[in-house]
Amino acid sequence: MKIKAESSGLDEWRETLEQAERDIVPKTREVISKGSLNIKRGAQRRSSGIAHAPNYPRTITYDTDVDGTRVLSEIGPDKDKAVGGGPHRTPGNLGHIFEYGLSDTPAQPHLGPSLDEEVPNVERYLGELGEDLLT
């Protein structure tokens, strides 16, 4: 009994996969960076107008990094960022109080809602990226 196997298209598919392997991390970083920027802007918008910390939104930053094949992002107030003048030049150290509140201070959520708003967009863009890389 003879078995015949057809292998047409395998070289093209291999090339597509190899190119996808080269592109996946940098292109994923682009998507995550854009999503992080949107979350940062949303958090800044939601936290503007805090009377006793008007400079707080300016402390909200983001940073992306790559660790092997993982793309990481950190978004939130920079506790060391000096903005404004006077003795309270680093309002970033108040971020956890604004986000979660205290027993006598209501929460003013801004990071969580901004993340929740952006996650569906990032998921959609990552799905589209996967499709683009494999076609």
pLDDT in tens, 54-71: 889 999 999 999 999 999
CA 134 to chain centre: 24
Annotate 6-16 with b (16+ C-beta within 10 A) or e (fewer).
Answer: eeeeeeeeeee
pLDDT, position 52: 81
Residue 91 burial by CB count (10 A; 0-12/13-18/19+): exposed, middle or buried? buried
State pLDDT tens for residues 22-31. Answer: 999 999 999 9
Instruction: Decide if pLDDT at 18 tops 80.
Output: yes
pLDDT, position 47: 93
pLDDT, position 2: 83
pLDDT, position 104: 92
The four Cα atoms 86, 87, 92, 95 give a dihedral, to 10 degrees, of -120
Q: Is 86 helix (H, G, I), strand (E, B) or coil?
A: coil
pLDDT, position 88: 62
pTM: 0.85
Q: Is 42 helix (H, G, I), strand (E, B) or coil?
A: helix
* Encoded tokens for 2: 């003879």
pLDDT, position 42: 98
State pLDDT tens for residues 67-118. Answer: 999 999 999 998 887 777 666 667 778 888 889 999 998 989 999 999 999 9
The four Cα atoms 58, 125, 67, 42 give a dihedral, to 10 degrees, of 10
Per-residue pLDDT averaged across 29-49, rounded? Answer: 96
